[in-house]
Amino acid sequence: MMVNLDDFRQAAQRVLPRFVYDYVAGGADDELCLQRNRSDLESMTLMPRSLRDTTAASTHIQVFGRTWSAPFGVAPVGLIDVVRPQGDKLAARAAGKAGLPYILSTASNSCLEEVRQATDGPCWMQLYVMQDRSMADTILARAREAGFEALVLTVDVPVGGYREKDLRHGFKLPFRPGPRVLLDMALHPNWLRRQAWAGAPQFVNLVPAGGAGSAQAQAALLSRTMDRALVWEDLNWLRSKWDGPVLIKGVLHPEDARLALHAGVDGLIVSNHGGRQLDVAPSSMAVLPSILDVVQSRLPVFVDSGFRRGSDVAKALALGAQGVFMGRPVAYGLAQGGEQGVAQVLDLVRQELLRAMILLGANRPETLADCLPVPMRG
Ligand SMILES: Cc1cc2nc3c(=O)[nH]c(=O)nc-3n(C[C@H](O)[C@H](O)[C@H](O)COP(=O)(O)O)c2cc1C
């Protein structure tokens, strides 16, 4: 029975081969950042406000002129088809039907145009800038043409994180599974059948213009050639290619929030990539107050990394975040039940959030700020 998000995690652990589950669930190095994301969220409390009329409690918010049915959405997750073929489209469709936003990864396995078609909800494009900037140019042009509403520039992957579980499983591209992994695959026949039917996932948005390119070549492109010369001034270049809102994902330092304001970005996603990149990084929740302090409501500030409950979302909102994104829980939903699984995951979080708001005496996401423990108020 699926009662909370951890049930979906456990179901995913059962239905996926170990190397796939570990690819999704794992973090960098010693996974300390991964753990900090959870422990910092868990240690925070909220103070209920009593005798407030919550008969009209609503989770709806407005972001960039669109209504979201709740203040959370789907974070970009690359290579999702190893979990479930067509995963990008299935998850986008579930998010759209739930009235929630979806961010598509540069490293998606479905064409960005098809994913945009799959949802009429808010749909944003995530961008990795590789050394060959013409690839970013192409993605930007295609995403604009397809009707993506905002651009999310991820800045915390100048180089891939050191994911030891992936290394131990030999899960790297080109993928040449050893006997242990082959056996594991054989022991998950439903997963294997779907994968065999769909064929090896391709990074379809990275195929160089006019070229075909194998998944391996595309992966090499993605992993080896991130543009480490990308700096704040380059946002002008990005701006010249994109006229909609630009958000930066992966900012943790308050000084970088100041630079982002100066550079004229339209929003921030405070994130440590779910603990998959820099293991010594602080949790997103630990730095969120200092970033909000710099931003002073001039931009919407979102946050991700470790959110697993509606009440976790309430905590970020109480601090002043506009909304929250979730990565792994959506992948677990896909693994367990495809589009339906994602729909259930999103619905669970929305219901949990609404219940938390009512218990806290908050009619609207904004009024959650009244529930901060006294020493945490600004
Ligand atoms: C399997 C996996 C793949 C990811 N791929 C991307 C990606 O392509 N681009 C990106 O900006 N973030 C990527 N992320 C990071 C997520 O967008 C998000 O920051 C993170 O998952 C949030 O933490 P959570 O999984 O605890 O919710 C990925 C995360 C996971 C788990």
Residue 349: HSE in the Cβ half-sphere, 13 Å Cα cutoff: 30
Architecture of domain 5-47+66-369 in this structure: Alpha-Beta Barrel (3.20)
Has 273 been annotated as catalytic?
yes
Residues with CB under 6 A from ligand 1: 23-24, 75-78, 105, 107, 126, 154, 249, 271, 273-274, 276, 304-307, 326-328
Q: Side chain identity at 159, as an amino acid letter?
A: V
Q: Delimit the domains of the chain by residue range.
A: 5-47+66-369
Nearest CA to ligand 1 atom 10: 76
Give the chain's largest Cα–Cα span.
Answer: 64
* CA-wise closest residue to 138 among 80, 81, 77, 210: 210
pLDDT of residue 376: 66
Active-site position among 60, 169, 188, 273: 273
Evaluate whether 201 touches 66 at the Cβ level (below 8 Å).
no
Instruction: Show contacts of 213-216: CB within 8 Å, 24+ apart.
Output: 215/173, 215/174, 216/173, 216/174
Separation of CA 327 and ligand 1 centre (Å):
5
Ligand 1 atom closest to 275 (CA) = 23
Q: Residue 332 corresponds to which tokens in the numbers above? A: 């677990």
Other C-beta atoms closer than 10 Å to the C-beta of 55 total 6
Alpha-helix runs per DSSP H in the chain = 5-15, 18-25, 32-43, 87-97, 112-118, 133-146, 164-169, 179-186, 189-198, 215-224, 235-241, 254-262, 284-295, 310-319, 328-360
DSSP letters along 231-275, please?
-GGGHHHHHHH--S-EEEEEE--HHHHHHHHHTT-SEEEE--GGG
Ligand 1 atom closest to 106 (CA) = 8
Give dist(CA 292, CA 270) in Å, integer. Answer: 10
Evaluate whether 93 touches 30 at the Cβ level (below 8 Å).
no
Q: Residue 203 corresponds to which tokens in the numbers above? A: 């990074």
Q: Helices 5-15 and 328-360 meet at what angle, rounded to 10?
A: 170
Separation of CA 298 and ligand 1 centre (Å):
26
* Residues in the chain with pLDDT values less than 70: 208-224, 376-378
Report the predicted TM-score, pTM, of the whole model to 2 decimal places.
Answer: 0.97
Nearest CA to ligand 1 atom 29: 77
pLDDT of residue 132: 86
pLDDT of residue 216: 62
Separation of CA 76 and ligand 1 centre (Å):
6
